[in-house]
A and B are shown apart, each in its own frame.
Chain A
Amino acid sequence: MKIAILSGKGGTGKTFVAVNLAAVAEKATYIDCDVEEPNGRLFLKPQDVRTETVCTHLPCFDAQKCTACRRCVDFCRFNALAFVADKPVVFADVCHSCGGCALICSADAVTEIEQPIGMIECGMYENVKVITGILDLGKASGVPIIKAALELVASPADELTVIDCPPGSACTVMESVRVADYCILVVEPTIFGLHNFKMVYQLVSLLGKRCGVIVNKADDGSSPSDNFCQMHKIPVLCRIPYTDKLAFIGAYAQIACQKDEKTKELFQQILETVYSEVAG
C-alpha cells in the first residue's frame, strides 16, 4: 500500500508523520519527494547510500538538417521554443522534456541531449528503505526527480510505501500522489492552515484519491480546519497536540515513535485505520 503525506502549508508536520509511519511499520519504503528541501533523511538516517544522477532531455537542433518548417515551435505547448532568424531556439528552464519537437520534426533534425538536474539517494535505515530525491539548486522543476524516485519502488503491494510530498498543491505534488492508494493530509488548526488545506483537499478530490486528516499541533478541536473536516465529512485520523516533548525529539533529529511509547501506539493506530479504510 502506498500512502502519500501532503499538506498545503509547509511546516505542518508532513515529514514528522511520514517518518513515524515508516518507522512503526514492520517493513517500509520511505520516499522523500520534497526534492527542493528533503529532510526525512535527517531522521531516517540511511546507511550504505547509493546515488544516481537524474537527467532530463533537452532538444538540440541540427542546423544542417533543419528545414525551418517551424512545426516544432508551433507544436510546443509549453512555449519553450522560439523561431528566430529561421531557426528554433530552446529555453531550457521552460522545456518540459516532452519530446514532442523530436516527434513532430519530419527532417530528423532534433536530437535530445541529457541534462543532469539532480540525483536520488537510496539506503537502508533499520527496517526502512530510504529513497531521497534531490533537485539541484536553481533548477526549475522537480517533477523528473520525483518520477525517477517513485520508479525505484519495487516493493510488493502489501508492503508499506510512505511518500513524503512537497508542500503546496502544484505539479510536483500531483506527481507525488499519482501512485498513492491513500492520502493523509496533515493540517494545522489555524486560518492560514485551513486556506492551504482547502487547496490540497480540492486537489486530492479532483484526483479521486481517498484521504484522511491528521490535525497536528491540535488544540481543543474547534479550529477552522476541524470545522472544515466536519462540513465535508473528511475522516480525522487523529489529532496530535503540541507538546514540548515532541518538539525536542524533532529538534534532535530523533524519531518520536522510537522515543515515546504513546506516539508509537498512535502511529500504529493510524496505520491500522488507513489499512482498513483502503481495504474497505
Chain B
Amino acid sequence: MKIAIPVDEKKMSTCVCASFGRTPFYMLYNTENEEAIFLDNSAANAQGGAGIKAAQIIIDEHAEVLLTASCGENAAAVLNAAQIKIYKITESTAKENIAAYISGKLVPITEFHAGFHGKQ
C-alpha cells in the first residue's frame, strides 16, 4: 500500500508540510518494501486550483492513504471520489506519522477547510 505525505524536504527525516496543496514535495511510502520516493509538487505555484491538481498527483500515483495536517474541500472532494483515505497527522516528522498510522493511532479528517484563495 502506498501512503502519500506532503513534506518539506526530500529526505527520510523530513517534517510534514503544513499545506497539502502547496507543499514543495510529496513522500510516497510503500508499506510493502518500506521504501519511500519523493515527488516535486507541480501544483505548488499554481495560480488557482492547487488542491485539485495536487490531489490529482496523489491519485495518479495510486496512493491509497494521505497523511496531512489539513486539506481543502476541493482537494478532499477529488480524494474522496478516488476513495483515498485522509488521516490527520499528530507528529512532526513523516516517519513518526507513518509509524503512528500503521499502529492505528491516526484518525480520519472529517472537516475540510474552504480554499484560502490568497488569504492567510
Contacts and interface: CB of A to CB of B under 8 A. Distances in A.
Interface string A57-90: 0000000000000000100001111111100010
B12 to A, nearest CB: 30
A94 B53 CA distance: 11
A79 B53 contact: yes
Interface in B1-23: none
B74 A89 contact: no
Contact of A84 (B48, B74, B78): B78
A78 to B, nearest CB: 6
Given A73-B56, A82-B55, A84-B59, A89 B49 contact: no
B59 A79 contact: no
B81 to A, nearest CB: 4
B56 A89 contact: no
A93 B117 CA distance: 11
Interface residues on B, range: 10 to 19
A84 B52 CA distance: 11
A81 B50 CA distance: 11
Most buried by B among A80, A81, A91: A91
B20 to A, nearest CB: 14
B81 A79 contact: no
Contacts of A73: 56
Interface residues of A, number: 13
Contacts of A80: 49, 52
B82 interface: yes
A91 B82 contact: no
Interface in B43-86: 43, 46-50, 52-53, 55-56, 59, 74, 77-78, 81-82
Contacts of B115: 93
A83 B55 CA distance: 10
B82 A84 contact: yes
A80 B74 CA distance: 10
Given A73-B56, A83-B56, A84-B59, A78 B48 contact: yes
B56 A82 contact: yes
Interface string B77-114: 11001100000000000000000000000000000000
Residue in A80, A84, A89 with the greatest tally of chain B CB atoms within 10 Å:
A84
Interface in A121-179: none
A94 B81 contact: no
Given A79-B43, A79-B46, A84-B59, A91 B52 contact: yes
The 7 closest A-B pairs by CB, nearest first: A79-B49, A79-B53, A84-B81, A82-B78, A94-B49, A79-B52, A84-B82
Interface of B: 43, 46-50, 52-53, 55-56, 59, 74, 77-78, 81-82, 115
25 contacts: A73-B56, A78-B47, A78-B48, A78-B49, A79-B43, A79-B48, A79-B50, A79-B52, A81-B52, A82-B52, A82-B55, A82-B59, A82-B81, A83-B59, A84-B59, A84-B82, A85-B81, A85-B82, A89-B81, A91-B49, A91-B52, A93-B74, A94-B48, A94-B52, A94-B74
